[in-house]
Amino acid sequence: QVQLVESGGGLVQAGGSLRLSCAASRRTFSSYVMGWFRQAVGKEREFVGAINWSGGRTDYADSVKGRFTISRDGAKNTVYLQMKSLKPEDTAVYYCAADRLLRTVVAGAPQYWGQGTQVTVSS
């Protein structure tokens, strides 16, 4: 079992930056692919990005490429989502997720999910 706890959400103006954190409970955090998803009101949850177990590979949705960056700190069992040049359409609940396989995360079906953190971007 892997427990994930997100933090760092909040209200930010358009063009601003925010960094989300996701702390994982398990010592084997390093063997899991970590992903970020988001769900806006009235919309389906969508893939934002993922990072493999070593941190050497990242994948991003086209809508966030060049603006969002995922990184991980094995010593802290934490994965980060650095968001820059935020837009009002980035407003959503952001979820951290984990799975053994990158393709499973990218496909939107990771095994473990966090509870989500709200990000609101004002215009």
* Residues whose CB falls within 8 Å of the CB of residue 89, separated by 6 or more in sequence, listed in order: 40, 63, 121
Cα(49)–Cα(30) distance, rounded to whole angstroms? 17
Amino acid at 82: Q
3-state secondary structure of 70: strand
Q: What is the pLDDT of residue 94?
A: 98
How far is C-alpha 61 from the chain's CA centre? 11
Token pair for 31: 């063997």
Q: What is the pLDDT of residues 55-81, one digit of tens each?
A: 889 999 999 999 999 999 988 999 999
**Residue 28 confidence (pLDDT) above 90:** no
Q: What is the pLDDT of residue 54?
A: 86
pLDDT average, residue stretch 97-109: 94
Q: What is the pLDDT of residue 56?
A: 87
pLDDT band at 31 (very low <50, low <70, confident <90, very high): confident
